[in-house]
Amino acid sequence: MAKVISQETFDEVVQENVVEFCMTAEDAKQETIKQFEAQGINLANIIKDLSINAETGKPILNETVEKLKTHISEKSEDAQQLLELLAILDMECQKSLAHRVLAGKNGAHDALVTLLEQTLCAEQLNTALLSKCLTAANSLTHKQPDLFDAEALSMVLKLLALQDQLDITCLTLQWLQKACVMHEMNRQHIMSSGVLPLMKPLLRKDSARLVRETTAVLRFLVLDDDIRVEFGCAHEHARQIANEMLLQLVELLPAYEEVNVLSDLLLTIGTLAVRQELCTLIDEAGGLKLIFDIMQANLQHERLNREALKLLRAMAGHDAVKAHIIQQGVAPIIKELLETHQQNENVVAAAFACITTLTLRVKEHSAAFFDTGIAEVMAEALRAHPKHKTVQRNGAWAIRNMVSRSRNQCETWLSFGIEDLLNAAMLEHPAVAQDIKAALRDLGCKVQLKEEWTGTAEKKIAA
């Protein structure tokens, strides 16, 4: 078994080389590495690129955290020095996850939370200090959500309660976002803390920045990405947030023209539309017309239309809403999108998926798309992306749903060479061969089906 040492031992030897042998910081590190490797010690667990103080030989990150702690414990009024220390901590934490882990082990998180508390309790609010402290907390918590604890959450609630502090509020929301990623318990604690009433007023018609940061938190609260828990609460969180804010999010759509804000709003609404009654709520609030108007006004924008298609697909999970989507004229819009973004595999895949859902088991919906002449456009889109598995699979799904109850369309589809396209896709992407075979079968093409089970029953099944 290879021998290992601690980070502290490595740092002590570097310090000795600097202080005792008057080496430069870089020479001291290289010499230390050579010494330990010559002894057969595995240094894989050691952070070798720590910035070293040339005078003391200690890692700057460690020194900075210690100075912060001293500054806080002595309640020093030297704000300028504090700002400089926070800037150094922020810069060091941005270097790598290893640097952030080391800072966390040295107590940086507790120091930052304490400093935030002291700053908030001061007679005069120092917004520059709050901003620097929150910036450092964001850098420290990035990909390290385990650090976020009850004290940090309590501090977030106090910060969100501040009035007319845009920068502070946005930095606080970003801190919440980082605490949510890959951490189910943090999400549950945040949801149970009463944070939603504090966030609701932030969805304003006069602040695009606040809307973007707030909607990001809402989306992160419904993630299901923590492998450490068997069952998460993503669905329940989405339902709670939707009951509080979904209507407000829909009402914000006509208030903005900026593409990025609209994209975030559409993505958030689609993320929260997890139940049939919520799909109905969006529909009854005039959401469909707003979505169609946004798509038609921004046909050239890839992300916005991709999010709009995903939202329509989510809403189409409700049969009545699906019928309204078709009745209000989505088919020509999707056809125009496919023509505009034919070379963009992401938009094409999203459009095919949306068509698949909208035409599922409804002959009239299939006819609404077919009558626009979309078949040729879909065939050309498939032809443009032969190597993209998702496009070919989604295209096969869409074609199957369109022709399965409308066999009168088959001849038209075949005239565009769809059989050859699907057969080529089946050879190129064997993982989705069954999906493609289903489309070929419903088109009336010759398909070689594989019999998955050829055993003999023990008992004869009565006729």
Report DSSP letters for 190-202, one per residue.
HHTTT-HHHHGGG
Separation between Cα atoms, residue 418 and residue 436, nearest integer Å: 11
Q: Which two tokens stand for residue 8?
A: 């502290």
Distance CA 134, CA 170 (A): 10
Q: Average pLDDT, stretch 411-417?
A: 96
Is residue 398 within 8 A of residue 355, CB to CB? The reply is yes
In 3D, which of 378, 373, 395 has the Cα closest to residue 439?
A: 395
Query: Residue 462 pLDDT more than 60?
Result: yes
Asked whether residue 230 is domain-assigned, the answer is no
pTM (2 d.p.): 0.91
- Whether 332 is in a domain gets the answer no
> Which residue in 147, 40, 125 sits closest to 79, CA to CA?
125
Report the pLDDT averaged over residues 10-20.
85
- Residue 355 within a domain: yes
**What is the percent of the chain with per-residue pLDDT over 90, rounded to a whole number?**
81
- pLDDT bracket for residue 75 (50, 70, 90): confident
- Please give the DSSP secondary-structure letter assigned to residue 207: -
Among 213, 136, 128, 126, CA closest to 169: 213
Residue 8 lies in a domain: yes
**Cα–Cα distances in angstroms (integers) from residue 16 to residues 9, 12, 29, 61, 129, in the given order:** 11, 6, 10, 18, 35
Domain count across the chain: 2
Residue 463 has pLDDT above 60, yes or no: no
| Tokens representing residue 102 in the block | 């080391």
Q: Is the pLDDT of residue 461 over 70?
A: no
Confidence band, pLDDT 50/70/90 cuts, at residue 380: very high
Is-contact 4 39, C-beta < 8 A?
Answer: no
How far apart, in whole angstroms, are the C-alpha atoms of residue 66 and residue 130? Answer: 19
Given this model, what pLDDT does residue 100 score? 96
* 26 close to 49: Cβ distance less than 8 angstroms: no
Residue 144 reports pLDDT greater than 60:
yes
Expressed in angstroms, the distance from the first to the final Cα of the chain is 68
Q: Is residue 409 part of a domain?
A: yes
* Per-residue DSSP letter, 52: B
Of 13, 35, 58, which residue sits at a domain end?
Answer: 58
Q: Indicate the pLDDT class of residue 43, thresholds 50, 70 and 90.
A: confident
Can you give the C-alpha Rg of the chain in angstroms?
Answer: 29
**Residue 79 predicted with pLDDT over 60:** yes
* pLDDT on residue 54: 85
Count of other CB atoms within 10 angstroms of residue 182: 16
Range 63-88 average pLDDT: 92
Beta strands in 292-417 (DSSP E): none
Total residues belonging to the chain: 463
- Mean pLDDT, rounded, for 292-321: 96
Position 257 scores a pLDDT of 95
Q: Phi/psi zone of residue 373: left (φ > 0), alpha (ψ -120 to 50 degrees), beta?
A: left
Residue 51 falls within a domain, yes or no?
A: yes
Q: What is the pLDDT of residues 150-188, one digit of tens each?
A: 999 999 999 999 988 999 999 999 999 999 999 999 999
Indicate the range of 25-39, 248-262, 305-319, 431-445 predicted with least confidence: 25-39
Give the residue, 449 or 53, on which the prediction is more confident. 53
Q: Write down which residue in 24, 42, 58 finishes a domain.
A: 58
For tokens 């460690």, name the residue: 62
- For residues 362-386, give the mean pLDDT: 97
Mean pLDDT of 437-461: 80
DSSP type of residue 58: S
Q: How confident is the model at residue 17 (pLDDT cuts 50, 70, 90)?
A: confident
Q: What mean pLDDT do residues 190-219 have?
A: 96
What pLDDT, in 10s, does the model give residues 328-346? Answer: 999 999 999 999 999 999 9
Tokens of residue 272, six digits = 């929260």
What confidence score (pLDDT) does residue 25 get? 82
The answer on pLDDT for 452 being more than 80 is no
Q: Which residues lie across from 52 on neighbouring strands?
A: 59
Mean pLDDT of 187-216: 96
Domain end marker among 58, 74, 107: 58
For residues 441 and 405, give the distance between their C-alpha atoms in angstroms, rounded to a whole number: 13
Domain with 24 in it = 1-58
Say whether pLDDT at 423 is over 80. Answer: yes
Q: Phi and psi at residue 42, in whole multiples of 5°?
A: -80, 120
If you search the block for the tokens 């704000």, which residue do you land on?
79
Average pLDDT, the chain: 93
- CA angle 82-9-73, nearest 5°? 25
**Above 80 in pLDDT, residue 459?**
no
Please compute the mean of the pLDDT values over residues 36-65 and round it to a whole number: 88
